[in-house]
């Protein structure tokens, strides 16, 4: 196979569609390994920033990006025709949900159409976007084959689920095992050879559908277990028990238990969304994923539970939620990332506002943001307590001074156990 020789000699050129949290780290990692990489994105602002050597993804240091831009190994563009220059196309576009909770395949379809417009014999096409089992074979393959190319012979096709964990200092692109499933043996072999040039471990599976299901299982596993501890947190609240103490004690068991932790709700692109992809696909087979959907109900109700806890805190001071000033501390979907996607903080702010509270927030990663009719600016951390009746820790960024919060706020609702070990009558936990 000519492509294998190109990959092994690093003469193969890579095209990455979508330069976000998945695509950009992948592109820069391969460029740093010596491959020529063309990154394609429709966002002109992103492309300009990248070509100036400025990374907008925390996991990609600007110095690494600037290095591969300067030596010519990485080029960003808004011109999809440039994908015709590459040997491998890796699709890393978002896969959101529609309002009906059905998969929105718009970005995948657009990326596949862009690929089909420039496809040539001998190319390897890989889909990394999280999606339902069957997408690679049912959506990608027919579109490319319609160009007169025989799948698995004239072009190679595989699915490899992204496993990005933004902000994780230990596990990043290179050392996270890469699952790969091709439409035939040659496709799998080409994809394994490609990823093996950068990734420490590559795990081949029998088909794209298996690889697609792997990703959904991973995140559904997390969603269901988080749903369990979120329900346990509400139960412990009724019983006047500290759920965090319960979990800490339970995790001392050296077998048969894995700790998960409650929180204000699910956030990010994957965990709140992927179980819906799985449930949607299951319904096509007349199968109701009751366990998964129940976890979704519990998790989606956590922002409302947080607002109830804020109300409880204010009631302890004989204050009403209506008219009180409530300050949200951290709005990113997780600690130490600049990502708002599906963040529970957004719904919490909206619910507080609807209840009549006067809302404000502090987050060093977001100087300002708009959501629904809210248009807010981040308050300086040193001043955030000055006019607040209650603070709510929604995202526990490491940069926050938690002892100072306890000292300055009259009331604090802690949804992340950020104040672990601190005893104070003004602290209210989940």
Write out the chain in H/E/C secondary structure. CHHHHHHHCCCCEEEEECCCCCHHHHHHHHHHCCCEEEEECCCHHHHHHHHCCCCCCCCCCHHHHHHHHHCCCEEEECCHHHHHHCCEEEECCCCCECCCCCECCHHHHHHHHHHHCCCCCCCEEEECCCCCCCHHHHHHHHHHHCCCCCECCCEEEEECCCCCCCCCCCCCHHHCCEEEEECCHHHHHHHHHHHHCCCCCEEECCCHHHHHHHHHHHHHHHHHHHHHHHHHHHHHHHHCCCHHHHHHHHCCCCCCCCCCCCCCCCCCCCCCCHHHHHHHHHHHCCCCCHHHHHHHHHHHCHHHHHHHHHHHHHHCCCCCCCCCEEEEECCCCCCCCCCCCCCHHHHHHHHHHHCCCEEEEECCCCCEEEECCEEEECCCHHHCCCCCCEEEECCCCCCCCHHHHHHHCCCEEECCCCCCCCCCCCEEEC
Cite the active site residues.
Answer: 270
């Amino acid at each position: 196979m000519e492509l294998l020789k190109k990959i092994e000699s690093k003469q193969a050129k890579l095209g990455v569609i979508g330069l976000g949290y998945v695509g950009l780290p992948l592109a820069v990692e391969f460029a740093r390994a010596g491959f020529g990489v063309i990154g394609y994105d429709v966002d002109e602002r992103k492309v300009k920033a990248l070509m100036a050597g400025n990374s907008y993804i925390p996991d990609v240091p600007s110095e690494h990006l600037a290095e591969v831009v300067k030596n010519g190994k990485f080029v960003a563009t808004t011109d999809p025709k440039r994908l015709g220059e590459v040997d491998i196309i890796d699709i890393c576009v978002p896969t959101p949900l529609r309002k009906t909770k059905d998969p929105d395949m718009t970005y995948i379809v657009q990326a596949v159409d862009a690929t089909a417009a420039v496809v040539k014999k001998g190319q390897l096409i890989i889909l990394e976007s999280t999606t339902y089992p069957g997408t690679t074979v049912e959506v990608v393959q027919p579109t490319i084959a319609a160009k007169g190319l025989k799948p698995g012979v004239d072009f190679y096709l595989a699915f490899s689920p992204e496993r990005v964990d933004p902000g994780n200092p230990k596990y990043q692109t290179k050392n996270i095992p890469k699952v790969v499933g091709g439409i035939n043996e040659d496709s799998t072999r080409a994809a394994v050879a490609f990823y093996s040039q950068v990734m420490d471990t590559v795990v081949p599976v029998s088909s794209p559908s298996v690889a697609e299901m792997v990703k959904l299982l991973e995140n559904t596993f997390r969603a269901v277990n988080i749903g369990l501890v979120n329900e346990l947190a509400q139960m412990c609240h009724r019983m006047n028990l500290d759920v965090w103490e319960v979990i800490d004690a339970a995790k001392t068991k050296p077998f048969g238990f894995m700790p998960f932790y409650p929180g204000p709700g699910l956030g990010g692109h994957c965990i709140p969304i992927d179980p819906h992809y799985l449930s949607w696909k299951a319904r096509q087979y007349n199968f109701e994923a009751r366990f998964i959907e129940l976890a979704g109900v519990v998790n989606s109700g956590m922002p409302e539970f947080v607002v109830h806890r804020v109300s409880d805190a204010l009631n302890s001071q004989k204050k009403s939620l209506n008219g009180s000033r409530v300050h949200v501390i951290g709005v990113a979907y997780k600690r130490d990332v600049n990502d708002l996607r599906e963040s529970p903080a957004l719904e919490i702010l909206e619910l507080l506002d609807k209840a009549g509270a006067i809302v404000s927030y502090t987050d060093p990663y977001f100087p300002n943001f708009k959501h629904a009719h809210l248009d807010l600016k981040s308050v300086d951390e040193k001043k955030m307590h000055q006019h607040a009746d209650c603070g709510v820790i929604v995202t526990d960024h490491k940069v926050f001074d938690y002892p100072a919060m306890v000292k300055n706020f009259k009331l604090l609702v802690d949804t992340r156990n950020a104040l672990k070990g601190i005893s104070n009558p003004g602290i209210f936990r989940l």
